[in-house]
Amino acid sequence: MTIRNRPALPLLLTFAVILGSHGATAQDAASRYWADSWRGWHFYEAPAPEEREHPLPPGKATPTAPPTQPSRAPELVEFERLQKTLEETRNIAIMRPSEANVRRYMELESQVVARASYFADVAQRVAWATPQLDPTLQGRPVNAKALEVFDQAELVDRSRAIADLGKDHVLFFFYRSDCPYCHAFAPTLAAFQARHGIQVVAISVDGGPLPGFPSARPDNGIATALKVSQVPAVYLAQPFTGKISPIGFGVLSESQLLERIAVVSTPQAEAVLPTTTQGLALPPEAP
């Protein structure tokens, strides 16, 4: 072997590297072609669309982030957690009433009751120190002595109001001469008329008389118009308008009459109480 061929060795190696790299490139291209043979000989791929920002129409402001909700009071969070825990503990004890589950629920319930009791004590002390918040000073009192004074003052006020009402109102008293309850109720109505100054017009459904009301009038059809099916019956009537409102049926006490007439005669009563307002033929006035 001669040494003359040695200088060609690096050149051959260089060509081998180049050919090897070109061969690999050609081989990869061929594999990619056959893998994408579904594209065909001629194909065109549209470029991916560019994302563009669409401007808002005129007159519309850029949307802003929703306002943050104000933080809740920690007491509300604690209350809701306690309420939820109590409910879950109770439900567990109901579904699986083991000694441990029931004890856990009863202990938690005891804590809640203690909290509620302490709240009630504080609320009571606040009411005692604040007359505007004390329920015992609002409306009808609960103390026996105060209740006696309240009832007396209310009686005077209602009697005065009914006396004013008697200027243009009367009480229709429907009765039957054979009704024992009508006979028992008649003295109460007679005393009520004398004490409070409102006229009682007695109307006999069966045409018979009644002691205490010698000027009683026979029914002229008004009982049928008012659908009076039970006696004794008392109605408050305003003769010149034909407005008639039921007061009650059966034997009533003087205090009941006062209270019911006071309630029925208020302006707000027309919206909630049954009232008959129609052109009724009222009984003729006494001579």
Model-wide pTM > 0.75 = no
Q: Average pLDDT of 129-150? A: 82
Lowest mean pLDDT among 16-20, 59-63, 244-248: 16-20
| CATH number belonging to domain 145-277 | 3.40.30.10
CB-CB contact of 189 with 171 (8 Å) = yes
Give the distance from CA 247 to its chain's centroid.
31
Domains of the chain, by residue range, sit at 74-138, 145-277
Helices within the chain (DSSP H only): 8-35, 74-95, 99-129, 144-165, 180-196, 222-225, 254-264
Q: Reduced to 3 states, what is the DSSP secondary structure of residue 191?
A: helix
pLDDT at 181: 95
Q: Is residue 52's pLDDT more than 70?
A: no
Q: Phi, psi (5° rounding) for residue 26?
A: -65, -40
For the record, the structure tokens of 230 come out as: 């039970």
pLDDT in tens, 256-285: 998 888 888 776 666 655 655 544 555 555
Triad 146, 148, 153: Cα angle to 5°: 95
CB-CB contact of 210 with 183 (8 Å) = yes
